[in-house]
């Protein structure tokens, strides 16, 4: 199982991305989780919820995290400092646009779930954006 956690300041944004990916990438081996907004439904991020999602998916082969803007990245970094080292080894923050990056990574995980292939496709997306 490959898990993707989408960290956004808006629950609606991360829910929408999860909905799109799960409809377009129907795979039992790919799990996509929405970690958007705050506990009370407001705008922001909730590091404790991100940590809980990571810990709940500790059996995943790899856990990839995507973020929308600045402080969501800081939330991910903070959580990665707090979790157990063995679990941290499974976690990878992918610095790519949250919609396109998560979609491409999930599609690639369905085709070839190897870490190298997922990184290659996400990095290709980033280099394509620079060239445009």
Active site residues: 9
String of b and e for 19-46 (b: at least 16 CB within 10 Å)? eebeeebebeebbbbbbbbeeeeeeebb
d(CA 94, CA 75): 14
């Amino acid at each position: 199982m490959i898990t993707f956690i989408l960290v956004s300041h808006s629950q609606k944004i991360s829910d929408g991305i999860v909905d799109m990916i799960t409809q377009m990438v129907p795979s039992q081996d790919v799990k996509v989780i929405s970690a958007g907004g705050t506990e009370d439904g407001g705008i922001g991020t909730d590091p404790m919820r991100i940590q809980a999602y990571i810990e709940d998916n500790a059996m995943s082969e790899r856990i990839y995290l995507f973020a929308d803007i600045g402080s969501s990245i800081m939330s991910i970094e903070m959580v990665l400092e707090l979790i157990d080292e063995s679990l941290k080894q499974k976690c990878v923050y992918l610095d790519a646009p949250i919609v396109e990056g998560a979609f491409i990574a999930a599609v690639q995980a369905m085709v070839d779930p190897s870490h190298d292939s997922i990184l290659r496709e996400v990095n290709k997306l980033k280099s394509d954006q620079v060239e445009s």
